[in-house]
Amino acid sequence: MESKKVYNFAAGPSKVPEEVNTQFVNFIYFQLPAQQVLRQAQQELLNYNNEGASVMELSHRSKTFEKVIETAEKDLRDILSIPDNYKVLFMQGGGTGQFAAIPLNLCPGLKDCSADYLVTGAWSSKAAKEAEKYIKVNRVLPKSDKHVTIADKSEWKLNANASYLYYCENETIHGVEWHHAPEPLPGVPLVADMSSNFLTKPIDVSKYGIIFAGAQKNVGIAGLVVVIVREDLLGKEAGFCPSVLSYKTMADNKSLYNTPNCFAVYITGLCLKWIKANGGLRGMQERCNKKSDLIYSVIDSSNGFFYSPVDKRYRSKVNLPFRIGGANGDDELEKEFLSESAKRGMIQLKGHRSVGGLRASLFNAITIEETQFLANFMKEFHNLKQK
- Kindly list the catalytic residues: 123, 193, 217
**Closest Cα partner for 147 from 167, 132, 163?**
167
Q: What angle do CA 133, 135, 136 make, to 5 degrees?
A: 110
CB 203, CB 220: distance < 8 Å: no
**Closest Cα partner for 210 from 181, 239, 241, 171?**
181
* Cα radius of gyration rounded to whole Å, the chain: 22
Instruction: With H, G, I as helix, E, B as strand and everything else as coil, classify residue 170.
Output: strand
Report d(CA 150, CA 106) in Å as an integer.
26
- Name the burial class of residue 250, with classes exposed (0-12), middle (13-18) and buried (19+) by CB atoms within 10 angstroms of its CB: buried
- The helix or strand, by DSSP H or E, that contains position 167, with its residue range, turns out to be strand 165-168
CB 171, CB 123: distance < 8 Å: yes
CB neighbour burial string for 71-100, b if at least 16 within 10 angstroms, e if fewer: bbbebbbebbebeeebbbbbbbbbbbbbbb
For the chain, the 3-state helix, strand and coil shares in percent, each to the nearest 5, are 40, 15, 45
